[in-house]
Amino acid sequence: MKQLIFFFILCMAFFQAAAQTTINIATDKTSSLVFPNPIVHVDRGAKAILVQGVKDAPHILLVKAAAKNFSETNLSVITVDGSVYSFAVHYAAQPEQQVYQVAAKKTSPVQNYANGILDNPRTIKGIRDSKWDMLVEITGIYVHSDVLYFQLQLSNNSPIDFEPELMRLFIRDRKKAKRTAVQEQELNPLLVTANPTVIKAMTSHRMVIAVQKFTIPDAKQLRLQLMEKNGGRHLQLNITNKKLMQSILLPDYAANKNRIP
């Protein structure tokens, strides 16, 4: 019985700790919720809440009251990294605060998955580039829900340290037609796990890049560029849709697992 009571108290403490800030909204004023990542889903507890996304800022949600003096309700928001935020919503004729900066979760499902596959053995071959004894290759491509995970191996086989300065991900035309500008679509990573500041001489380093799920048209390819600071060992990887279709589907897993098979 004591164990049951302890478990109940523990659960209550967990849910109280997970609770988010109460927000107050009015009918004639717009409140803004600013999230650390783009929003993918919003659920309103009642029709008394009006919500609207911002086209050019997908991490911002505009909230307003549709009626005065409504009963307390709730608002749930899911961001692209899998984090779930829950808010208690009250009516206030004169809200004291109209902009809410929502703090990022300490851990998220995306981070858990990225950490889980970081040390997985190689599952794919043929995507590599090398220059002056510096090698970068993709050793695995995984997918779960709306997120793609690229597992990278960086090997410095030279006597000189490698300092990454810039990493770019973009979709571009595979071949450039004469007198035609190359069209590029930049991709912003959701997360980069184990992002190195320097790769020491004669060492290897693994990292995982998480991006929002996509596919590549036949005439295009995904290019990953890795630039060296104050150096000339600039590396790039080209990934076609054929390679993308070899992605391994990740199963749901408990957050306390150390590795995802």
Last residue of a domain, one of 82, 104, 126: 104
Question: pTM for this one?
Answer: 0.65
pLDDT for the residue 61: 95
Q: What is the pLDDT of residue 26?
A: 94
Same domain, 117 and 187: yes
The residue segments making up the domain with residue 51 are 18-104
Cα dist. 206→90, 138, 158, 216, 222 in Å? 47, 10, 17, 25, 20
Is 201 inside any structural domain? yes
Residue with tokens 């991709």: 187
Q: 207-231: b or e for each residue (b if 16 or more CB lie within 10 Å)?
A: bbbbbbeeebeeebbbbbebbbeeb
Query: Is the residue at 13 inside a domain?
Result: no
Task: Among 104, 135, 156, give the residue marking a domain's end.
Answer: 104
* Same domain (yes/no): 72, 23: yes
pLDDT by 10s per residue, the chain, length 261: 434 333 333 343 333 334 457 899 999 999 999 998 888 889 998 999 999 999 888 899 999 999 999 999 999 898 877 788 889 999 999 998 999 999 887 777 888 899 899 999 999 999 999 999 999 999 999 999 889 999 999 999 999 999 988 888 999 887 765 555 567 888 888 888 888 889 999 999 999 999 988 888 888 899 999 999 888 899 999 999 999 999 999 987 644 444 455
Cα separation, 60 vs 223, whole angstroms: 29
6 sits in the region (left: phi over 0; alpha: psi -120 to 50; else beta) called alpha
CATH number where 74 lies: 2.60.40.1550
In this structure, are 84 and 209 located in the same domain?
no
On whether both 58 and 171 belong to a single domain, the answer is: no
Q: Contact at 8 Å (CB) between 170 and 223?
A: yes
Residue 245, in any domain of the structure: yes
Q: Are 124 and 240 spatial neighbours (Cβ–Cβ below 8 Å)?
A: no
Indicate the number of domains in the chain. 2
Whether 56 and 174 map to the same domain: the answer is: no
Q: Which residue among 104, 122, 150 closes a domain?
A: 104
Pair 55, 169 in one domain: no
CA–CA gap between residue 141 and residue 126 (Å, rounded): 12
**Is 117 part of a structural domain of the chain?**
yes
